[in-house]
């Protein structure tokens, strides 16, 4: 997030796109609701009638995967009416002319045809967003998990810059991230192309700095993203895999394909809390520790690094993640010796400029927002105040592209996947809680009453969903939350796995798969029939 | 206070003392013990509050012999009384160090954060319920309007169960909020409106001691305290019973058949 969570409360307008905030980020929804109750305008763009849509001043249900067109349409209207922040654009950005040319091609009529959002609603969204001073834009996986994920994000940034909302308190472009420490993991270089603090492995100066600190020559080429690893495993160029705290057999798209790739590995080690679907395939399972058994830091979605203090000793034969990694590294010939996680933090901050001013003592209970470059620096709740990281903010001209798979005669419905409030990710933790299990015991396909009537299915009925990748048997839930023509399946449940169905087509730049759109068919299950 | 608590711990008058410890500028609930006596120097009374008696109940359930010391304001005292009446935490097992509620301009022995209520936004006033509204005021609203305003508040619920989990007098092993025949589980948010909140309100009758922790905990600012105050005033009007203040069993604390949702012959 460019801005902190607390600031959302003071926005004049909040634009939620591709985020079911109250179910997936409930404490951020609290801030949204508070802003709304103080008088902020609330815009929700989501194909489903999510909880916060009930409170929206305008809610639009754009056709799946049409976000670029929707955002271009808003920007078209803003420019037509002269609502853009002209001074901000002139002083702080570049690339405006080329961008403007593209956006002017997205007339309201054209956008309505692509997105199925009425011109009136589109105008209302544009007006509210442009009028807010500041307006905060919040998005989540509904924006990123597309073959056009990067285009979608860039379009969000274009909109925010167009109205001068980046670099101001309570404004910004705010991706709501899924895990408590996914921001921290990325900050620490758990990505195939960067060292900590996003210093590129291909940059010679950065490489030299880390080579020197670690006393080893380092490779100068980027590694594989997870979506590239799967084909590499199938081709046999990737033979061994060490999976830490992830359950790709359930969380990656096109699960049958993923399983066959895992079967080809010569060696698989999985480090996790529980015997996950992925751990069941492993040659070696290394038991890690839960959050109450370890010390360290988590950096959350708002870039706030917070200290975690161990409450109990590790249970059973579980060990600290850093101990396992250190021992493994030592056994493989690179000695790692640390007394505790603080010693690792101290080493890290020497090499990570955005964390350089932090220490366990300074983090205290409230933590610090990066960048925090020196020990006197108070941290940075919102980014890009006077200048962008690259200097000027760059407008990108973005054209609309269809999702990789659209409904057709054979697979006539859209399928989208996501989360529901009671469970987290692949359910490895939440499905073990009796209370959360009570809330939701298994998977389901949510559909609109109209579609259910047409197909002759009832709530609770088991049906078969099939895509070009696979099929699952799953119970129907009829709900007016669903958009007509679009089915929704939560991906938490291995026995009704959404990712058997999803498409592994991915964004060409970021490699993120298109979990949010594919084409699907529904068949009634007839007793005594032979499964095809 | 600190000297007394140290003395209690040293002389084994209590095995532990539940209070608040100042950690990096925040007063956090903390269990002080005799083997770490110097920590008592960090014991504080501040605006922060938590249902310490709920922790005490959980501890007593596992260690029935434990002598528990506890920092107590008025609301804690009322809760302890209810817990004793319902046989959840016997009063002999708890020794309290009594402190005034947060001093405030309105009352020098008062009612914590509620004496300086936070302002409520205009849209909430228009569509929902001002959290600082009195029961009398709420009752004077037009009935249709009142219904719409409460439905607005309930439809914000994210089913976090924070109201129940923080409640010092919520102790049932089987919670009605998780009874599949009373409240629909699963699916999407909000939870079943208005049933979830009405079921909880009904169960607060004869029990709620008006501490307001539920409302402090509610991420969606639902005016739960007002709702339960209304329930409390009904119980007081009908039975002349005020939980946590009056002696004796609650009018709902009657021994009878095991409760069931099955229909019964009349």
Touching check for B185 and chain A: CB below 8 Å? yes
Number of DSSP helices (H) and strands (E) in chain B, helices first: 10, 4
Q: Is the peptide bond before A45 cis (omega within 30 degrees of 0)?
A: no
Give the DSSP letter of residue A8. G
What is the rounded average pLDDT of the residues A424-434? 93
pLDDT value of position B224: 95
B120 vs A26: CB contact, 8 Å cut-off?
no
Give the pLDDT confidence score for residue B188 in this predicted structure.
Answer: 82
For B152-188, write each residue's pLDDT tens digit.
999 999 999 999 999 999 999 889 999 988 888 877 8
Are A37 and B23 within 8 A, CB to CB?
no
Say if the Cβ atoms of B189 and A23 lie within 8 Å.
yes
Task: Name the residue facing A22 among B158, B180, B186 (closest C-beta).
Answer: B158
**Which residue does chain B place closest to A363, by CA atoms?**
B24
Identify whether A72 is preceded by a cis peptide bond (ω within 30 of 0): no
CA distances from A141 to A18, A66, A152, A423 (A): 6, 14, 11, 16
Q: Establish if A441 touches chain B: CB-CB under 8 angstroms.
A: yes
Contact A30 B219 (CB under 8 A): yes
A6-176 folds as Dimethylsulfoxide Reductase; domain 2 (3.40.228)
Tell me, what's the pLDDT at A363? 96
Q: Is A360 on the interface with B (CB under 8 A)?
A: no
Q: Please say whether the beta carbons of A3 and A381 come within 8 A.
A: yes
DSSP B51-101: -HHHHHHHHHHH-TT--EEEEE-HHHHHHHHHHHHTTSS-GGGEEEEE-PP
Asked if B121 and A29 come within 8 Å (Cβ–Cβ), the reply is no
Q: What is the DSSP letter of A395?
A: P
pLDDT at residue B257 in the model: 65
Residue B62 near chain A (CB below 8 Å): no
How does residue B261 score in pLDDT terms, banded at 50, 70 and 90?
low
Which whole-number Å values give the CA distances from B193 to A171, B188, B190, B198, B224, in the listed order? 33, 12, 7, 9, 14
Question: In the Cβ-directed half-sphere of A63, how many Cα atoms lie within 13 Å?
Answer: 20
Q: Give the pairing of strands A173-175 and A135-139.
A: parallel
A22 lies within 8 A of chain B by CB: yes
B6: left (phi over 0), alpha (psi -120 to 50) or beta: alpha
Q: Do A37 and B189 touch (CB under 8 A)?
A: no
pLDDT bin (cut points 50, 70, 90) of residue B104 is very low
Classified as helix, coil or strand, A191 is coil
Q: What is the CB neighbour count within 10 angstroms for residue B92?
A: 8
Which residue has 């976000």 as its token pair? A67
From the list A36, A438, A477, which residue is nearest B187 (CB)? A477
Dig out the tokens for A31 from the structure: 């801030």
- C-alpha span between A172 and A168 (Å, rounded): 7
- Indicate the CATH number for domain A413-524: 2.40.40.20
In total, chain B counts a number of residues equal to: 266
Domain ranges of chain A: 6-176, 182-369, 413-524
- Residue numbers of A between 150 and 169 with CB closer than 8 Å to B: none
- Are the beta carbons of A439 and B186 separated by less than 8 Å? yes
User: What is residue B260's predicted lDDT score, i.e. its pLDDT?
Assistant: 62
B187 touches chain A (CB under 8 A): yes
Instruction: Find residues 125-144 of chain B whose CB sits inside 8 Å of chain A.
Output: 128
**Residue of chain B whose Cα is closest to the Cα of A57:** B123
Strand-pairing partners, residue A486, are A414
Q: What is the pLDDT of residues B180-217, one digit of tens each?
A: 888 888 778 888 889 999 999 999 999 999 988 999 89
CB-count burial class (<10 Å; 0-12, 13-18, 19+) for A133 = middle
Q: Write down the pLDDT at residue B114.
A: 56
Q: CA of A145 to nearest chain B CA: how many angstroms apart? A: 21
Q: Which residues of A touch B131 (CB under 8 A)?
A: none
Cβ–Cβ below 8 Å for A439 and B160: no
Cα separation, A264 vs A49, in Å, equals 42
Nearest C-alpha of chain B: how many angstroms from A11?
A: 13
Distance CA A341, CA A357 (A): 17
Report helix, strand or coil for A22: helix
Of the candidates A33, A477, A481, the beta carbon closest to that of B156 is on: A33
With beta carbons under 8 A apart, name residues in chain B contacting A30: 219-221
Taking residues A323-335, report their average pLDDT.
96
pLDDT band at B252; cut points 50, 70, 90: confident
Contact B233, B225 (CB under 8 A): no
Answer whether B176 touches A (CB < 8 Å).
Answer: no
Q: What is the mean pLDDT of residues A58-70?
A: 98
Task: Summarize pLDDT for A185-200 with one digit per residue, the tens.
Answer: 999 999 999 999 999 9
Given an 8 Å threshold on Cβ–Cβ distance, is B156 in contact with A421? no
Question: Could you tell me the two tokens for A447?
Answer: 């559909």
Across the range A165-193, mean pLDDT stands at: 96
Number of CB pairs, chain A paired with chain B, less than 8 A apart = 75
CB atoms within 10 A of CB A323: 17
Please name the member of B24, B124, B128 whose beta carbon is closest to the beta carbon of A364: B24
List Cβ neighbours of A120 (8 Å cut-off, separation of 6 or more): none
Chain A contact present for B190, CB below 8 A: yes
pLDDT over 60 at A276, yes or no = yes
Beta strands in A371-526 (DSSP E): 393-394, 413-418, 444-447, 462-466, 471-478, 486-490, 518-524
Q: Identify the pLDDT of residue B107.
A: 46
CA distance A136 to A9: 10
Q: Which residue of B has its CA nearest to A435?
A: B178
Q: What is the pLDDT of residues B22-60, one digit of tens each?
A: 999 899 999 999 999 999 999 998 878 889 999 999 999
Of A55, A364, A439, the CB nearest to B185: A439
pLDDT value at B132 more than 70? yes
| pLDDT at residue A361 is higher than 90 | yes
Strand pairing partners for A240? A267
Residue A41 phi, psi dihedral angles, 5° rounding: -80, 145
Work out the pLDDT band at A63, boundaries 50, 70, 90: very high
- The span from the CA of A41 to the CA of A135, in Å, is 9
Task: Report CB contact under 8 Å: A36, B123.
Answer: yes
Q: Integer distance in angstroms from the first to the last C-alpha of chain B? A: 58
Residue A514, token pair as written in the block = 């298109």
**A12, A15, A29, A146: which is closest to A75 by C-alpha?**
A15
List the 401-420 stretch of A: residues with Cβ below 8 A of B: 420
- Are residues A481 and B188, on separate chains, in Cβ contact within 8 Å? yes
Neighbour-count burial for A408-427, b at 16+ CB within 10 Å, e otherwise: eeebebbbbbbbbbbbbbbb
Whether A527 has a pLDDT exceeding 80, the answer reads no
Interface contact A432, partner B, CB < 8 A: no
Residue B106 has pLDDT above 80, yes or no: no
Q: Which residue has the tokens 């307001």?
A: B212
On the 0-12 / 13-18 / 19+ scale of CB atoms within 10 A, B32 is: buried
pLDDT band at B259 (very low <50, low <70, confident <90, very high): low
**Is 3.10.350.10 the CATH number for A182-369?**
no
Number of Cβ atoms within 10 Å of the Cβ of A460: 10
Distance from CA of B97 to the nearest CA of A (A): 27
Q: Which of A36, A38, A365 sits opposite B23 (nearest CB)?
A: A365
Q: For B155, which of A26, A54, A422 is closest by C-beta distance?
A: A54
For A123, phi and psi rounded to 5 degrees?
-65, -40
Sign of CA dihedral A460, A461, A467, A469: positive
The pLDDT value given to residue A526? 85
Token digits of residue A450? 């109209």
Name the minimum distance, in Å, from the CA of A359 to any CA of chain B. Answer: 14
Q: Which among A51, A365, A420 has the least Cβ separation from residue B26?
A: A365
Residue showing tokens 């291995």:
A494
Distance from CA of A148 to the nearest CA of B (A): 28
């Amino acid at each position: 997030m460019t801005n902190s969570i607390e600031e959302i409360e003071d926005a004049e307008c909040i634009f939620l796109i591709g985020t079911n905030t109250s179910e997936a980020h409930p404490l951020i929804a609290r801030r949204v609701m508070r802003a709304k109750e103080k008088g902020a305008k609330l815009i929700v763009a989501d194909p489903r009638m999510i909880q916060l849509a009930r409170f929206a001043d305008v809610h639009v249900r754009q056709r799946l995967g049409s976000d670029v067109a929707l955002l271009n349409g808003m920007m078209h209207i803003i420019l037509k009416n002269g609502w853009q922040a002209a001074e901000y654009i002139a002083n702080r950005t570049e690339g405006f002319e080329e961008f403007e040319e593209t956006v002017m091609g997205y007339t309201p009529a054209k956008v309505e045809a692509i997105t199925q959002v009425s011109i009136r609603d589109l105008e209302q969204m544009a007006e509210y967003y442009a009028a807010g001073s500041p307006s905060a834009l919040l998005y989540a996986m509904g924006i990123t998990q597309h073959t056009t994920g990067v285009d979608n994000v860039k379009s969000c940034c274009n909109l925010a810059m167009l109205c001068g909302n980046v670099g101001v308190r309570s404004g910004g472009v705010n991706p709501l991230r899924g895990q408590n420490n996914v921001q921290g993991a990325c900050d620490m270089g758990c990505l195939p192309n960067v060292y900590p603090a996003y210093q590129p492995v291909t940059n010679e100066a950065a490489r030299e700095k880390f080579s020197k600190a670690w006393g080893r020559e380092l490779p100068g080429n980027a590694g594989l993203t997870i979506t590239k690893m799967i084909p590499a495993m199938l081709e046999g160029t990737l033979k061994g895999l060490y999976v830490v705290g992830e359950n790709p057999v359930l969380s990656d798209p096109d699960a049958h394909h993923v399983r066959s790739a895992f079967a080809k590995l010569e060696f698989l080690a999985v480090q996790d809390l529980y015997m996950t679907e992925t751990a069941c395939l492993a040659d070696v399972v290394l038991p890690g520790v839960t959050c109450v058994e370890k010390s360290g830091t988590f950096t959350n979605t708002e870039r706030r690094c917070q200290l975690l203090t161990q409450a109990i000793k590790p249970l059973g034969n579980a060990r600290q993640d850093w101990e396992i990694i250190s021992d493994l590294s030592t056994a493989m010939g690179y000695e790692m010796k640390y007394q505790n996680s603080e010693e690792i933090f101290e080493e890290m901050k020497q090499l990570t400029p955005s964390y350089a001013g932090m220490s366990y003592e300074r983090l205290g209970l409230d933590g610090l927002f990066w960048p925090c470059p020196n020990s006197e620096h108070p941290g940075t709740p919102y980014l890009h105040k006077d200048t962008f990281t690259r200097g000027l903010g760059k407008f990108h001209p973005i054209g609309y592209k269809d999702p990789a798979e659209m409904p057709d005669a054979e697979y006539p419905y859209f399928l989208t996947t996501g989360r529901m409030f009671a469970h987290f990710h692949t359910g490895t933790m939440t499905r073990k809680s009796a209370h959360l299990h009570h809330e939701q015991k298994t998977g389901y396909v949510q559909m609109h009453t109209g579609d259910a009537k047409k197909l002759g299915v009832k709530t609770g009925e088991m049906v078969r969903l099939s895509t070009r990748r696979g099929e699952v048997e799953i119970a129907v839930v009829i709900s007016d939350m669903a958009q007509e023509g679009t089915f929704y399946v939560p991906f938490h449940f291995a026995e009704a796995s959404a990712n058997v169905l999803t498409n592994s087509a991915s964004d060409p730049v970021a490699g993120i798969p298109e979990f949010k759109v594919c084409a699907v068919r529904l068949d009634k299950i007839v007793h005594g029939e032979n499964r095809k | 206070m600190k000297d007394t608590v140290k003395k209690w711990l040293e002389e084994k008058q209590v095995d532990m003392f539940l209070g608040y410890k100042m950690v990096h500028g925040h007063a956090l609930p903390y269990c002080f013990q005799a083997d770490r006596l110097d920590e008592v120097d960090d014991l504080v009374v501040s605006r922060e509050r938590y249902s310490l008696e709920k922790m005490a109940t959980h501890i007593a359930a596992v260690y029935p012999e434990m002598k528990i010391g506890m920092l107590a304001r008025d609301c804690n005292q009322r809760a302890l009384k209810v817990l004793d009446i319902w046989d959840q935490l016997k009063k002999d097992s708890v020794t309290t160090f009594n402190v005034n509620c947060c001093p405030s301009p309105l009352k020098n022995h008062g009612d914590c954060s509620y004496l300086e209520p936070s302002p409520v936004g205009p849209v909430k006033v228009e569509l929902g319920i001002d959290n600082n509204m009195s029961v009398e005021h709420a009752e004077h609203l037009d009935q249709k309007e009142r219904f719409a305003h409460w439905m607005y508040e309930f439809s914000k619920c994210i089913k976090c169960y924070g109201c129940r989990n923080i409640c010092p007098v919520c102790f049932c092993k089987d919670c009605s909020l998780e009874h599949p025949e009373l409240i629909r589980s699963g699916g999407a948010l909000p939870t079943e409106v208005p049933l979830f909140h009405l079921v909880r309100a009904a169960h607060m009758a004869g029990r709620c001691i008006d501490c307001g922790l539920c409302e402090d905990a509610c991420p969606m600012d639902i005016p739960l305290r007002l709702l339960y105050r209304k329930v409390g005033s009904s119980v007081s009007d009908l039975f002349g019973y005020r939980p946590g203040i009056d002696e004796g069993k609650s009018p709902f604390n009657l021994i009878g058949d095991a409760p069931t949702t099955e229909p019964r012959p009349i």
